[in-house]
Amino acid sequence: MRVVVQRCSHAKVTVEKKVIGEIADGLCLLVGFTKEDTVQNIEKMVQKIIKIRIFPDENGIMNKSVLDIHGSILSISQFTLYADTTKGNRPSYIKALNGKEAIKLYDLFNEKLKQHIKVETGIFGADMQVSLTNMGPTTILLEM
């Protein structure tokens, strides 16, 4: 499981010119799954995401979590996080979990996040346009 975590002051996802999900201060997540992922990976990842201290405290030090700032999350499915470009110029996605299985894990991931925080999502498998204002910029790759 790979998640790109981006600290943002605003993020939204649009499908066919309609805003599907939108947040203010919080995290924009790009989420990808592979064949080895388990429920335990998801549970650990959720805890890491909600507790990672990447928001500034009163002294400007990254010392607060998204929970501490009462932020929210925009979660976007992103199978291309498992692109393999070691051979040639066309990425291979053989390491990415197939859509039928990935949507189950993605839905479970979002449900577990929602137990702690407000979560908005895109539409799994759709052609989405994601825009955000990355604060910092702060972008972190998490892998389980």
Going 143 to 140 to 42 to 78, the CA torsion angle's sign is: negative
What number of H helices and E strands is found in the chain? 2, 8
Return the pLDDT at 141: 97
Mean pLDDT value of segment 111-121: 98
Return the pLDDT at 86: 92
Contacts of 63 (CB under 8 A, 6+ apart): 53, 55, 56, 57
Return the pLDDT at 64: 98
Return the pLDDT at 54: 97
pLDDT in tens, 26-69: 999 999 999 999 999 999 999 999 999 999 999 999 999 999 99
Return the pLDDT at 29: 98
CA atoms within 13 A on the CB side of 97: 20
pLDDT in tens, 70-111: 999 999 999 999 999 999 899 999 999 999 999 999 999 999
Q: Residue 115's pLDDT band (boundaries 50, 70, 90)?
A: very high
- Residues serving a catalytic function are 78-80
Instruction: Kindly list the structural domains of the chain, giving each domain's residue range(s) and its CATH number in brackets, ordered by start.
Output: 2-143 (3.50.80.10)
Return the pLDDT at 75: 98
∠ Cα 106 67 7 (to 5°): 70
Of the candidates 104, 105, 111, the one whose C-alpha atom is nearest the C-alpha of residue 144 is 105
Helices 99-114 & 39-51 angle (0-180, nearest 10): 40
Q: State both tokens at 36.
A: 């080895």
Going 142 to 104 to 8 to 80, the CA torsion angle's sign is: positive
Q: How many CB atoms lie within 10 A of CB 82?
A: 20
